[in-house]
Structure 1
Amino acid sequence: MTPAPEGMGDRRMEAEGELSMARLALDDGERQHAAEHIANALVCDPTLPDAHELLTVLTARSKDRLDLFPVEQPAFLGAVVARAHVLAADGEHDEALGLLVSAQCHQPAGRWADVPWVLDGALATRVPPDELCALAARLLRVLPDPIPRDMRPGVQPYLSLVRNSAGLWPEHAGILWVTSVLSRRMELWDEALDTALRSERAAPSLQASVAVAYAYRSMKRWAEAERAFLRALEHDPGNAAVETDVAELLATSGRAEEGLVWVERVLEREPHQENAFPTACGMRFARDGDVRHLIDLADHLREHPDNSHAEAVLTSWSQRRFWLGPVPAPSESVVNVLSQVLEAEEKPSGGTLTVSAPEPPSALLAFRRSLADFTLTIDGVPDPDPRAPVPEVFAAGPVRSIGRRVWDYEGAEARPSAAPPSPDAARALQDIAQEGWPHLLAAYDHAVRLSGLPLDDLLGVLVHPPAPLKDDAATWPEWIRSVQAWACLGIAHHRADQPWAASDRRAVLIDLAYGPEDWVTETALLGLVATAWVTPDTRADVAELVGWRFIAAMEASRTRPVTLLESLALLTLATPEMNPDVRALASRVLTPDDGTDAGGRGGRPREPGEIRPRWWRRVVPRRRRGGA
């Protein structure tokens, strides 16, 4: 089925424009052209009464009415919908409803069934319950769980239809089951439970008991959900999917160790079972926080890209750890001042901010982009020098020299050494930087969009970031970090045909990671880490590079603040095959032994990499007369 035309502007106006063209064609006797315009109108607005009225005029008493809307593959979406309405008018409701379900599967948010003949309560008497169950099952295979709110108006007519059918056939287990599943996904818990229990009573079965269990689970009635799952297993002992459901239920209800026993039992029979293996990886990661479990899951997903459960589990856990999913927010004092100034009721018109030592140039860039009327001054330079590349400060480690820099210094002031990117490259980064990623595999794959950009453009955008589409001063810090993250992921694709060890992409990412201390340090390491997730034969090399860069930051932190330290620790923990001692050191940075949060703040210890709100340091800018 070919996609619907992507129009601009109000869809109702587009539909009316198509109908105007259809009327002209009909007046000229060009019935096929009229049919095409009506089909286009139905795509723009499936519920428009005038479109349905003109469709009736076109097809009334016409022997070729179905020929006007062919559905040979690839079928046009509008033709499928129009043909369904013609068939319904002819009394062929089974086939008509099947075409609407096809349209719904293609575009689940469309209101294809929100039309009078589907909303008519009598339709349930015209479609046999077995046929309706089959159609609903097709629809359920593509609908999310739960169904997003913006998608529900398009799904509601189907729910009303199966409800009506369940009223007509109160002992039909199948129609009760689909009513339960559909209502549960619409978050109508009581209805879901009632119809599931009725389905189970009418004809006890695996699927009925699972529907009961899911309804109880949605209502957080854990014990009753567990009993229903156990009833389901009586119908099919050893069903790996249900056993995995039991494991997840136990974990969710606070019995994680018991849950892990269930999935481990499945994996004894089938080591890479498609349901149990992803769940086990997630539960092991929840138990000890060791990223190797998620890397095992990522390796499984690379080999089984169609495993939607593996995708969901990897996404779920990645979104709870910085760099695996979200990019951590910056913590530099200038960013904290920026936040304070922008939140003030009376925003100062200017001023001078003095920082005691050079902070990452990207942080200063974010401040200047947001508060251009402020003057930044730097008091001095601590030891070891954050302006110097790591090899110039620390003799140990695998990197001996740096070939490229994107920042140069004049005294304590940083200046971009890379030229601005081309307009095309700036637009490409502007587009992609609006997006996050579900997990590192997806981030790496998505960044292939940038692989065609020249290397100089990818370097240039690191220090000359395009403006966000909504130029809000408060967004600059996170925006710059997003641009830099995607640019470094793009560099990870540069000349991908070159063998890794001698590749340009490796050399450039090392130069950026081991260069002057900056947010670019973090995102270059991200590019290395993402490469290691995707390409196992790079893992030992990347682990050494990331580990030594973290150790250098630890050494520097002995005598001066290193604002990147926690972020580098997170990247270290995200790296496959990281040295256990280095991993333990990174964990200690994030969970200090004194029972405080990282950074010495009071409260419960934080799990390594756990996403929690940052405790922002409030730094008051130094004011001067006539300014802030």
Structure 2
Amino acid sequence: MFSGDADADLRQLADDTTFPHRDAARHAVRFRASGDVADLVAVHDDPHPCGMTDVVFALAGSKRPWLNWVPMPSEAISNIANDLGGRRARGEQLEVTGLGLSAAEPASAITACRRITGPVDIGIAQFPPPDIRTPVRPGRYAVWRYDGTEPVPAAPAPSAAAVAVLREVAGEPWQSPLSGYVEAAPLGGLPLDDLLGLLAHLPGPPDTARWQHLARSTPTYWYRLLQPWVCLGILHHATDQPWLTSTRREVLVDLAFGIEDWVADAALFALVTAAYREPDLRPEVRQLVRARLDAAVSANRLVTIEESLANLMLVTPGCRADDRALATAVLARAEQDDDEAEEPAPAPVPKRRWWQRSG
């Protein structure tokens, strides 16, 4: 039925006088062209929702950050892990005993690196303010703590059964947040300690062709992808509890405003998914996403999840003109930084971050 070209397929549906959801398809076409999230929300809020409106929603979000895929890790330590892990997967014999970073990076990125490289000493030159180890807001739930400069899981290791469920559920990206929520239901049946443990202990990927292939290029991506899946699972935890006083809400908000980490935007993604499903949640969720983006922007240093937070802001229901302006500015600045990094410098300049092998 579909060609694989989301834009062409949506235009065909929008022009088909026999298609009962032409308005939804038109909104999807406009969203693809302008990025105005109001059009995406209109697709979801079709007055006659059915499985086909979910398909239109998925087409609207095809190949868009968070709607169809989780942003790739961007940290220096992730680049190191991808390089070393990929070369090992291609048969090279490499040993690394020490690495150095000029500034601290997220605990999940550090842990993912060690999952790929094996035990390695990682020296961190500084923790510039605001200290990455300090939560944005105090909360009850956390998955990381620090022993000096070392990130340590704050939750017990997950059970073998929980790891098996994770690998079954999270082996592929979601078609859309809506379908991802449904597919994550088995994770919601796990104890909360297991879910928190999965977020911090980062078990390895499924032994499938997909992840064997990615092990040769971007082995860190599994660790980036699994956390949003787990957070979608948290949305299914104790759903009998009213939202405002629920454990699932408290956990996700605490993680979103905990220490600066991949877990933060993963938790916000789950909250944004809840906002699509439940319109009454939209004002609060928009405020939460904006507040977390504001915290990232106000930091007078590199925040590796800032670009990801900006992309999430742009797909948050209720995103206002000022929210969009801020997110767009963040993404434009990131693109400019990337372009400048690719241009040859007229003279050597200090890099914002560095790494080196030792030993």
Partner of 1:404: 141
Secondary structure of the corresponding residue to residue 339 of structure 2: coil
CA-to-aligned-CA distance 1:104-141 (integer Å, 9 cap, x gap): xxxxxxxxxxxxxxxxxxxxxxxxxxxxxxxxxxxxxx
Cα 1:297–1:514 shift into 2, 3 Å:
same
**1:444 aligns to 2:175 (yes or no):** no
CA-to-aligned-CA distance 1:12-46 (integer Å, 9 cap, x gap): xxxxxxxxxxxxxxxxxxxxxxxxxxxxxxxxxxx
Within 5 Å, give how 1:78-227 maps onto structure 2.
144-145=1-2
Partner of 2:263: 520
Partner of 1:295: 41
Partner of 1:432: 169
Gaps of 5+ in 1: 1-143, 149-217, 219-244, 252-259, 392-400, 604-616
Greater radius of gyration (CA): 1
For 2:219 and 2:198, how far apart are their aligned partners in 1?
A: 14
**1:459 aligns to 2:196 (yes or no):** yes
Residues 331, 563 of structure 1: 8 Å contact kept: yes
For 1:349 and 1:382, how far apart are their aligned partners in 2?
A: 30
For 2:204 and 2:123, how far apart are their aligned partners in 1?
A: 24
**1:382 aligns to 2:128 (yes or no):** yes
> What displacement does 1:602 show?
5.6
Residues 101, 355 of structure 2: 8 Å contact kept: no
Which of 323, 337, 341 is 2:84 aligned to?
A: 341
> What displacement does 1:597 show?
2.1
> What displacement does 1:288 show?
1.4
> What displacement does 1:562 show?
0.2
Which of 51, 56, 67 is 1:313 aligned to?
A: 56
For 1:445 and 1:526, how far apart are their aligned partners in 2?
A: 15
For 2:160 and 2:83, how far apart are their aligned partners in 1?
A: 33
**1:568 aligns to 2:306 (yes or no):** no
Number of aligned positions between the proteins: 339
Which of 286, 294, 300 is 1:551 aligned to?
A: 294
**1:488 aligns to 2:244 (yes or no):** no
Cα 1:247–1:571 shift into 2, 3 Å:
closer
For 2:322 and 2:353, how far apart are their aligned partners in 1?
A: 35
Residues 407, 418 of structure 1: 8 Å contact kept: yes
Residues 336, 618 of structure 1: 8 Å contact kept: no
Cα 1:386–1:436 shift into 2, 3 Å:
same
For 1:436 and 1:341, how far apart are their aligned partners in 2?
A: 24
Higher relative contact order, chain-length normalized (CA < 8 Å, sep 6+):
2
For 1:618 and 1:514, how far apart are their aligned partners in 2?
A: 25
CA-to-aligned-CA distance 1:432-475 (integer Å, 9 cap, x gap): 11022111111112222222111111111101122212385555
Task: List 4+ stretches of structure 1 deviating above 6 A.
Answer: 617-620
For 1:546 and 1:247, how far apart are their aligned partners in 2?
A: 29
**1:511 aligns to 2:274 (yes or no):** no
CA-to-aligned-CA distance 1:350-372 (integer Å, 9 cap, x gap): 23211112210110111101111
Secondary structure of the corresponding residue to residue 408 of structure 1: strand
Partner of 1:370: 116
For 2:335 and 2:203, how far apart are their aligned partners in 1?
A: 35
Partner of 1:423: 160
Residues 81, 220 of structure 2: 8 Å contact kept: no
Please give the root-mean-square deviation of Cα atoms over the aligned residues, in Å.
2.9
Residues 298, 441 of structure 1: 8 Å contact kept: no
TM-score by length of 2: 0.86
> What displacement does 1:145 show?
4.8
For 1:563 and 1:246, how far apart are their aligned partners in 2?
A: 35
> What displacement does 1:619 show?
7.7
Secondary structure of the corresponding residue to residue 390 of structure 1: coil
Cα 1:246–1:430 shift into 2, 3 Å:
closer
Residues 286, 316 of structure 2: 8 Å contact kept: yes
Identity %: 39
TM-score by length of 1: 0.50
CA-to-aligned-CA distance 1:141-177 (integer Å, 9 cap, x gap): xxx456x9xxxxxxxxxxxxxxxxxxxxxxxxxxxxx
Gaps of 5+ in 2: 342-350
Residues 426, 465 of structure 1: 8 Å contact kept: no
**1:502 aligns to 2:259 (yes or no):** no
Q: Larger helix proportion, structure 1 or 2?
A: 1
For 1:511 and 1:496, how far apart are their aligned partners in 2?
A: 18
Cα 1:313–1:618 shift into 2, 3 Å:
farther
CA-to-aligned-CA distance 1:166-214 (integer Å, 9 cap, x gap): xxxxxxxxxxxxxxxxxxxxxxxxxxxxxxxxxxxxxxxxxxxxxxxxx
Which of 331, 339, 343 is 1:601 aligned to?
A: 339
